[in-house]
Chain A
């Protein structure tokens, strides 16, 4: 577990606190999401944080929450599910949002 249970009490007794408040420990919580302009994939209309519609339809193969369905950014900075985009470009090699020629800028990891 990332959290330590409360330490032994030696630190309370022995050390002499010179300050009014000493910050001993901070248990932080943060949420990660894809750094995208729009939360929703314009192709399947599912949140990019969730797996795309086709992947969700096959949820039985998706084992224990491992997100295999990542996000892809184009040079135009628009982003989609990688699954959705790879099907899209077979039909039309342009970004569905801005019609620029599609080329991959980066992939989510």
Chain B
């Protein structure tokens, strides 16, 4: 073949080309040689001399296709309505495949002629090129356009009517007379026919088929819902609706274009769920209270995609878990309240948490509801808010029980696990600083009375608190630990000092030195006491040693925390008894007197009534002392029990140690308010230092955000702190506004 442009006889060439076009579009056999000859015919027509015949070729081809499709339209309808879909699909499959070969045959026309005049993509999108009727299309697109106009336009509505009937039959009888592929192929031909469009590819499919389909389906869903509702059984109804949605989705997958799937399930949910919410909600409470997991999970899956439909279910779960939580801690009694409190709450928490995972796929709405429920249970104030919340104290006591030596029969790993879980409760506590106070007081006692089970466990717990609330929250607790190690060092140095100067104290002495402020003991609890002669030298020597080493410090002896070991030599067997200093002082008085009147003892030792009572009673209860009357009245007479026996040669008088002094509790509670003020002032200074200038509201907001980890501050308290700092020139109001502050360095 020659590539040179030459004169061509259009009619002759088109005559043979048309024969081949017919074979190609009907998938007939085309020998290789014929194919390449016709291929060059297309070329020669396009480059014909003196003038290209491409436009004429295009026009003739278009007309040929129009005639061909008109012929097919007759053939499709030949066998009546029953065979309409089948026939349509048959000719569509043939035509839609054939047009691709045709497109190849017209390669040169497409490539060199049509593409050249095609508008750019930008013009297609922003201009109105689609509407340009005179525009030439590539052959494959042209063929589809011809099919749309010649076949779908006249036949579309009838096809859709038949399709809807067929699908309806599939719904009721789960079978169709027409092969599935014919139904599916017919439906997707409405998409296929538009496939080369740049915009609105799905429009024909949607307008012609999808919309009538969804409307018809909607009517079907309404009828189905009405039928199912007659049984008045929510559980059953939900089961059936879920099955129905699944079925409809499977059907849509079988027949429709993928873009219709969510529309189908939405329509189904609208008519079967959204329009019957009240019916579903009527059983909500019973399902939640009865913990009917399958029902709840069904309800969740039906409601989750409807806007706001879950709220009622979420609220019901919130109320129920809150009631369960309050009930679990409502009637606690006895010595183990703190253990029951924490463990019962954890049980309720774990149960609902697991339920939410299992039944509600861990949905955040429900997790949020559980958080709210826990928070209101844990911060609940009984008696309409008049009784203070005991959670901080009970939780601290729970930790204390676990960290104390006495927690026997429980492994270190179990202790660790329980402490780890207790953080769950801790995180819900609003007044974390109150917890910190109680925790500090109990930690102090564990450290001073050497009741700590394991330093590792103590440290791990403090790290957990630090992680939850930040460094500041635990800094005082850390200072207590520091004092412990500083004291160990001081004891060594003091012993060396005694050795150097050959001093004998007459007693094995050791001491803890606590830094005031870091420990939860106020100065106020120091009561008068006349120190027994045997201890005076120890105190004097240590003070000499200590004041030599440090400048500007003073020591206050906390006798109520001191302990002594006393050997009893007046009994049949020698015993060694560990007592508190006040108990020791009482006992030592009997070295020089056989019997003593209570009043006398108190006056000699300068003990206050409360101190005397507590310690004397513990000695009488332990039978080391005998009393001539039931009550320790000022006139009661005490004497040593010379017949005292004990199976053990070493023992401890413990009763008085464990009693909580009311002053201590009061001190703990009072100090919270003071600490909050200081905390807020430090926070304000910190914020102002980094921000330099800040508006009032922004400052309040940031202070609240920072203190949230420890407590919820009251706005008036923050305002007072701001005023106090302005008075002391840490910050000032700016010149522009009284609502704006600046930091003074």
Kindly identify which residue among B487, B564, B678 contacts A26, using a CB–CB cutoff of 8 Å.
Answer: B564
Task: Specify which chain A residues have a CB less than 8 angstroms from the CB of B728 in the assembled complex.
Answer: 43-45
Count chain A CB atoms within 10 A of each CB in B535, B555, B566, B567 and give the residue with the most: B567
Task: Specify which chain B residues have a CB less than 8 angstroms from the CB of A54 in the assembled complex.
Answer: 685
From B561, which residue of chain A is reached at the shortest CB distance? A29
Bound form: Cα–Cα A36–B475 in Å: 24
From B556, which residue of chain A is reached at the shortest CB distance? A31
Bound form: Cα–Cα A89–B220 in Å: 89
From B727, which residue of chain A is reached at the shortest CB distance? A45
B-facing mask of A23-35, CB < 8 A → 1, else 0? 1111111111111
Tell yes or no: B650 within 8 A of A by CB.
yes
A-facing mask of B563-592, CB < 8 A → 1, else 0? 111111110001110000100100110110
Interface hits, A38-60 → B, CB 8 Å: 43-47, 49-50, 53-54, 56-60
Kindly identify which residue among A29, A36, A49, A56 contacts B448, using a CB–CB cutoff of 8 Å.
Answer: A29
Residues of chain B at interface, number, CB under 8 A:
76
Kindly identify which residue among A13, A27, A57, A67 contacts B564, using a CB–CB cutoff of 8 Å.
Answer: A27
Is there an interface contact between B510 and A3, defined as CB atoms closer than 8 Å? yes
Kindly identify which residue among A21, A47, A73, A106 contacts B568, using a CB–CB cutoff of 8 Å.
Answer: A21
Tell yes or no: B117 within 8 A of A by CB.
no
Task: Specify which chain B residues have a CB less than 8 angstroms from the CB of A32 in the assembled complex.
Answer: 513-516, 546, 550, 553-556
Tell yes or no: B488 within 8 A of A by CB.
yes
From A32, which residue of chain B is reached at the shortest CB distance? B553
Known: A28-B512, A29-B562. A56 touches B556 (CB 8 A): no
Interface hits, B502-560 → A, CB 8 Å: 506-519, 521, 523, 534-535, 538-539, 542, 546, 550-558
Is there an interface contact between A27 and B558, defined as CB atoms closer than 8 Å? no
Is there an interface contact between B682 and A56, defined as CB atoms closer than 8 Å? yes
Known: A25-B508, A62-B475, A108-B551. A19 touches B569 (CB 8 A): yes
Kindly identify which residue among B534, B542, B552, B682 contacts A35, using a CB–CB cutoff of 8 Å.
Answer: B552
From A44, which residue of chain B is reached at the shortest CB distance? B728
Tell yes or no: B450 within 8 A of A by CB.
yes
Task: Specify which chain A residues have a CB less than 8 angstroms from the CB of B556 in the assembled complex.
Answer: 30-33
Bound form: Cα–Cα A106–B569 in Å: 50
Known: A2-B511, A29-B512, A34-B553. A21 touches B478 (CB 8 A): no
Is there an interface contact between A30 and B482, defined as CB atoms closer than 8 Å? no
From A47, which residue of chain B is reached at the shortest CB distance? B517
Tell yes or no: B724 within 8 A of A by CB.
yes
Is there an interface contact between A12 and B534, defined as CB atoms closer than 8 Å? no
Count chain B CB atoms within 10 A of each CB in A27, A47, A71 and give the residue with the most: A27
Kindly identify which residue among A24, A30, A34, A44 contacts B558, using a CB–CB cutoff of 8 Å.
Answer: A30
Is there an interface contact between B506 and A23, defined as CB atoms closer than 8 Å? yes
* A35 CB to nearest chain B CB (Å): 4
B-facing mask of A62-80, CB < 8 A → 1, else 0? 1011110001010000010
Bound form: Cα–Cα A109–B166 in Å: 97
Bound form: Cα–Cα A60–B476 in Å: 13
Is there an interface contact between B552 and A34, defined as CB atoms closer than 8 Å? yes
Is there an interface contact between B555 and A31, defined as CB atoms closer than 8 Å? yes
* B540 CB to nearest chain A CB (Å): 12
* B411 CB to nearest chain A CB (Å): 23
Bound form: Cα–Cα A6–B513 in Å: 21
Interface hits, A78-109 → B, CB 8 Å: 79, 106-109
Bound form: Cα–Cα A46–B488 in Å: 29
Tell yes or no: B683 within 8 A of A by CB.
yes
Is there an interface contact between B650 and A6, defined as CB atoms closer than 8 Å? yes
Kindly identify which residue among A11, A20, A53, A109 contacts B570, using a CB–CB cutoff of 8 Å.
Answer: A20
Tell yes or no: B497 within 8 A of A by CB.
no
Tell yes or no: B471 within 8 A of A by CB.
yes
Task: Specify which chain B residues have a CB less than 8 angstroms from the CB of A20 in the assembled complex.
Answer: 568-570, 590-591
Is there an interface contact between A57 and B508, defined as CB atoms closer than 8 Å? no
Is there an interface contact between A25 and B516, defined as CB atoms closer than 8 Å? no
Is there an interface contact between B566 and A21, defined as CB atoms closer than 8 Å? yes
Tell yes or no: B195 within 8 A of A by CB.
no
Tell yes or no: B730 within 8 A of A by CB.
yes
Is there an interface contact between A22 and B567, defined as CB atoms closer than 8 Å? yes
Is there an interface contact between A30 and B565, defined as CB atoms closer than 8 Å? no
* A52 CB to nearest chain B CB (Å): 10
Bound form: Cα–Cα A54–B730 in Å: 9
* B686 CB to nearest chain A CB (Å): 4
Is there an interface contact between B681 and A53, defined as CB atoms closer than 8 Å? yes
From B448, which residue of chain A is reached at the shortest CB distance? A29
* B517 CB to nearest chain A CB (Å): 4
Is there an interface contact between B587 and A21, defined as CB atoms closer than 8 Å? yes
Is there an interface contact between B678 and A50, defined as CB atoms closer than 8 Å? yes
A-facing mask of B14-51, CB < 8 A → 1, else 0? 00000000000000000000000000000000000000
* B239 CB to nearest chain A CB (Å): 58
Kindly identify which residue among A18, A25, A57, A79 contacts B565, using a CB–CB cutoff of 8 Å.
Answer: A25
Known: A30-B511, A49-B516. A108 touches B567 (CB 8 A): no
Is there an interface contact between A109 and B574, defined as CB atoms closer than 8 Å? no
Task: Specify which chain A residues have a CB less than 8 angstroms from the CB of B565 in the assembled complex.
Answer: 6, 23-26
Known: A22-B566, A59-B475, A59-B682. A109 touches B515 (CB 8 A): no
Can you name 14 extra interface pairs (CB under 8 A) apart from A29-B448, A47-B517? Answer: A11-B576, A20-B570, A24-B508, A25-B564, A25-B565, A28-B538, A29-B512, A31-B513, A32-B516, A32-B554, A50-B517, A50-B678, A64-B478, A67-B515
Closest 6 CB pairs of A and B: A65-B479, A17-B569, A49-B517, A33-B516, A109-B551, A57-B686
Could you list 8 examples of A-B contacts with CB < 8 Å? A2-B488, A28-B510, A31-B515, A31-B558, A33-B554, A57-B682, A107-B552, A108-B551
